[in-house]
Chains A and B, each alone.
Chain A
């Protein structure tokens, strides 16, 4: 049957167009998700699988390291978007206002996001190095010797130090997206505000921000989801230490699956399943909370 004839009936056309995408989706997304859920109710060893019911989930409830990982991941996911988006907003407004050297700053601030987490991790391990890292050298240079410390080696500073890295890395991306949103604003609305003697502060708060609200909220959700899944940076820099202070759910799943000298994939699957539900629920909740009930018209 030729393609033209096949496309003559609607359902055939639908099938032809959907099949490739559906096949990829089922093979690479739906099946792994379903299989992970199925695994979570089993002890999955290489040559045998044994149904254990809710045993993996019961163990999870008692697992202190898991809850510590949940806490760290939530702290990261909730604080990072605020830092990234708010700093990005200030930077994008500065560029929008065409500060001197705007073109240079746009490139400079955007560059970190072009690097992989691996490269970023290695760079920041050097920067945070106690003896010769730039961070401590600067503190020594300005006479703040007492502030010098192994930033990634202390349980109290390791997580904030990592949050600082992701903020540095992703602010540029947020800035570029916000800048695009600012440039797409209708100039007549801004001009009308200026004609009404609206100052820059009022113009930003009462005119610009409401109009780019949707972009801001999308960036917050994107950043939130990204941090809920964070793995690479932690693995390169701290591997979850010291004292699990930077353990995230993703690093813990990896450790349980590949580093705890057991081939069992059941328990890590239970962790991954619970986390999948939490991430999904959080995104739905955020979307609902940020849903704009009254559309702005301009």
Chain B
């Protein structure tokens, strides 16, 4: 009898201990809100990283909620204000308002920065703090159809960069043959239409003065700026873009380039691959598509013709109000390893801010990465897309004017200069 009551007491004590321990176990649940709900490969990568992390830390559970970007941003705005935001969430470096309002934990001492590219760290450095783990990165590339270029009888120089006059001739030649020179569309995005203009401006001005221009310290009346705009206007007038430019959506512009009706060139972030290397029935390019990468043309009198834009995109940040910051940072550190970086390259086929070795990438697209690496040899980078650097009204005007109306041929150079100067 005594034995039984002792057993009951022992069982009750064990139950009590278990109940005491339960809140601790619950406290180790890390909540993550992320974009990429519809991007299975990126989602798979993050989910696998979370599983690995859980396996390496018994008692820790990672709960990921997937969103599409707009819904995520709207949910975060409310949740951050209400103090209900998750421990870790997706963000991009242009969201400086998170930093300004003290919502992000400073990762400068917690994250293993030795495994992160210095330029990627810079993208998230504001003042003395560094606030994001830069997972996704991209360069602005000019893809082209090698077969069509050959048919037009144009040969690229060894560095893959035509002079601006030769580039304009190429556009005219393609147009005359009934080939759309450059696939591009702004039907659902605020940036692709601006690629040509900002890359031309970057080459003409060099990184320092280009940065001044974007930040409102250099006038759009500047002679070099106007010359660069004149070149873009010549391309627009020569019919560089599809007639459906203003309504063509991002996904459609990919298909327009490689499948139907087909275009000679396509300027896009190097995340082009995340769509193009899908199976053809999911919008991927046809098997054996002769994909090439050339440089944007060298500008006459350009200050930096080897300049190119590189941008950090999808990143993860830690909520400054999280009571589990250390575990949250450890989760990010588990992704910030060269091994995970190479896994990202192999699976997602997009660059990353994690230090990687593209030569070690195997699989069916290894050649593409070698080609991409060659296209970026000796380049000087400007870090950040204009819509990441600009905020508020300048960003809105840039989107409406440089991304849409100017390349669509709706307005001329004088209007561009006037509107951009007024928005400074």
**Residue ranges of A at the interface with B (Cβ–Cβ < 8 Å):** 45-47, 64-65, 125, 128-131, 150, 152-155, 241-244, 255, 258, 260-263
Contact = CB atoms under 8 A, between A and B. Distances in A.
Interface stretch (B22-30, B270-278, B402-410): B402-410
B101 interface: yes
A243 B404 contact: yes
27 contacts: A46-B101, A47-B101, A129-B244, A130-B243, A150-B243, A150-B246, A153-B244, A153-B245, A153-B246, A153-B247, A153-B408, A154-B408, A241-B404, A242-B246, A242-B404, A242-B410, A243-B405, A243-B411, A244-B400, A260-B393, A260-B395, A261-B96, A261-B97, A261-B395, A262-B97, A263-B97, A263-B101
A128 B187 CA distance: 12
B245 A150 contact: yes
A244 B422 CA distance: 15
Interface string B402-424: 00110010110000000000100
A261 B408 contact: no
A65 B96 CA distance: 23
A152 B401 contact: no
B36 interface: no
B282 interface: no
A263 B81 contact: yes
B191 to A, nearest CB: 13
Main DSSP-derived SS at the A contact region? loop
B246 A258 contact: no
Interface residues of B, number: 33
Interface of B: 73-74, 77, 80-81, 94-97, 101-103, 187, 243-248, 391-393, 395-396, 399-401, 404-405, 408, 410-411, 422
Contacts of B73: 258
Given A47-B102, A131-B244, A242-B404, A260 B410 contact: no
A36 to B, nearest CB: 16
A128 B80 CA distance: 39
Contact of B396 (A125, A255, A258): A255
Contacts, number: 78
A129 B395 CA distance: 27
Nearest to A136: B244
A128 B246 CA distance: 11
Contacts of A152: 246-247
Contacts of A46: 80-81, 101, 103
A242 B400 contact: yes
Given A153-B246, A242-B408, A261 B396 contact: no
A152 B408 CA distance: 12
Contact of A261 (B246, B248, B392): B392
B296 to A, nearest CB: 24
B401 A243 contact: yes
The 3 A-B pairs with the shortest beta carbon distances in the complex, nearest first, are: A153-B246, A130-B244, A150-B246
Nearest to A132: B244
Given A46-B80, A46-B103, 5 more contacts: A64-B422, A150-B247, A153-B246, A243-B401, A261-B94
B400 A241 contact: yes
Contacts of B80: 46
A195 B215 CA distance: 78
Contacts of B245: 150, 153
Contacts of A260: 391-393, 395-396
